[in-house]
Amino acid sequence: MLVLDRACHFSADQLLATLRQSGQRVSRATIYNTLSLFSRRGLIREVAVDPERLMYDSTTAPHHHFYNAETGELTDIDPADLRLSRLPPLPRATEAESVEVIIRIRPRKGG
């Protein structure tokens, strides 16, 4: 998994496992520090899928996602498939910078 080589979504733990499987010796702290640096530099984006879990996205332009709560998979939503007709009133003296939607999904029970 080359983070900057192609469009992909991944967690720090997934990246760490991939590197270790390929024989690389790297610490968890190195992975987190590097991902944090890449994010601050705009090379990848952090996607907070829940209060305790960050995923990383190599596509840096704002866009929407499906998040499978059972499998942990993050999938892009085609921008043409989601339309927002209006935003709620913004707090005073602010302007919208971007809007990003995460739709949490899970497999149907019994289906």
What pTM does this model have? Answer: 0.83
Q: Which domains does the chain have, with CATH numbers?
A: 9-105 (1.10.10.10)
- Give the tens place of pLDDT for each residue, 56-110: 999 998 899 999 999 999 999 988 899 889 999 999 999 998 889 999 999 998 7
CA distance 28 to 68: 24
Please spell the DSSP secondary structure of 4-18, one letter per residue. Answer: TTS--EE-HHHHHHH
1 has a pLDDT exceeding 90: no
Q: Which tokens in the block code for residue 100?
A: 């990003």
- Give the tens place of pLDDT for each residue, 15-65: 999 999 999 999 999 999 999 999 999 999 999 998 888 999 999 988 999
Mean pLDDT of the chain: 91
Amino acid 22 reads: S
Which residues in the chain belong to E strands, given as ranges?
9-10, 45-50, 53-57, 65-68, 74-76, 102-105
pLDDT of residue 111: 62
